[in-house]
Amino acid sequence: MSKVTTLNEFILEGQAAHSFATGELTRILNDIAVASKIVSRDVRRAGLVDHILGAQGNTNVQGEEQQKLDVVADEQFIKAFEYGGEVCGIASEENDDFVAFQSETSKNGKYVVLFDPLDGSSNIDVNVSIGTIFSIYKRVSTIGEEATFEDMIQMGNQQVAAGYVLYGSSTMLVYTTGDGVNGFTLDPSIGEFCLSHPNMKMPVKGRLYAMNEGNINICEEGLRDYIAYCQSSENDYQAPYSGRYIGSLVADFHRNMIKGGIYIYPETTTAPEGRLRLLYECNPLAFIAEQAGGLATTGRKRIMDIQPQQLHERVPFYIGSKNMVEKAMSCIAAKN
């Protein structure tokens, strides 16, 4: 029997291998692991909390109001970062503005974290996989002062680490620090994330496509051509691809990471920038995709080279196996 490597051990080994690593990033990743174990536990009880406790008047045993799970997750991660001491501020999907932590320890923190605490939250009520996505940057403002807007709107190519947690049939944490991608599965019996998917690589091609095809008539013609190519018997597999759309970006992305595939959330006539948010959905997954040999673009240009202007800005998103994203981009280019 080979020895299990826990996330903790793995992160520490990574730190030892890089002389520039100071231990702060290590502690942030550990904070994320702890917070995500707590969220995982809450997610696993989602139906009970909503339907049993909720039925008794929306208050729990302590008399607190039941909160939506995405707010619960948001608070859990914020708490982890605020009290961890390495992070000077955060931005999250659940907060209109970024949060600059006020304690002296936090003001001395060198990093900011941007995150989507619960992705795919419309799937909670129907017991379908959901996730968390996070992105870590070095601050650009002065250490010792409050975090600023400029710390938050850095280009994706400046990320020092990014990852996601998938609350699926098991709970997994997948992350990169720019040196490949590694995946860890939570063993609930010991409460540890254990290395289960070392050095993850996304297949260069695949035959799974994920798009909300309800939008097919309101997306651009080049994309309609690409979807027709996926469905055709004259494509690179000489047989129609399979359509797979969970409606949880993390789950759709993770499946494509392992099996090979493409995920598309395009611009449409009703949502000209698409739906997904650049800072805490697209950039972190783009970093992981590229580290695993995949690609992430808007259909026209690289996601990680976009200069963000706003915290919650949206971008069209094409992510997945390299050959598939390139083919989709060539279909779009052909109609422009």
Strand partners, 165: 132, 173
Nearest-angstrom CA–CA distance, 293 and 174: 15
Residue 121 or 154 having the CB closest to ligand AHG: 121
In sequence order, the 6+-apart residues with CB closer than 8 A to the CB of 13 are none
93 is a site residue for Mn ion (CB under 5 A): yes
Considering only residues 82, 86, 119, 290, which one is a binding residue for Mn ion as defined by CB under 5 A? Answer: 119
247 is a site residue for ligand AHG (CB under 6 A): yes
Nearest-angstrom CA–CA distance, 32 and 78: 10
74 is a site residue for Mn ion (CB under 5 A): no
205 is a site residue for ligand AHG (CB under 6 A): no
Give me the 75-104 binding string for ligand AHG, x by CB under 6 A, dash otherwise: ------------------x-----------
Q: What tokens were used for 287?
A: 């970093």
Q: What tokens were used for 101?
A: 């932590």
- Find, among 82, 104, 109, the residue nearest to 95 by Cα: 82
Map tokens 């931005």 to a residue.
91
> Could you say which residues in the range 101-130 bind ligand AHG, by CB under 6 A?
116, 119-122
312 is a site residue for ligand AHG (CB under 6 A): no
Nearest-angstrom CA–CA distance, 177 and 162: 7
Kindly state the smallest distance separating residue 121's Cβ from Mn ion, in Å. Answer: 5
The rounded radius of gyration (Å) of the Cα atoms in the chain is 20
Residue 136 or 230 having the CB closest to Mn ion: 136
> Could you say which residues in the range 248-267 bind ligand AHG, by CB under 6 A?
248-249
Residues that bind Mn ion (CB under 5 A): 93, 116, 118-119
Residues that bind ligand AHG (CB under 6 A): 93, 116, 119-122, 212, 247-249, 275
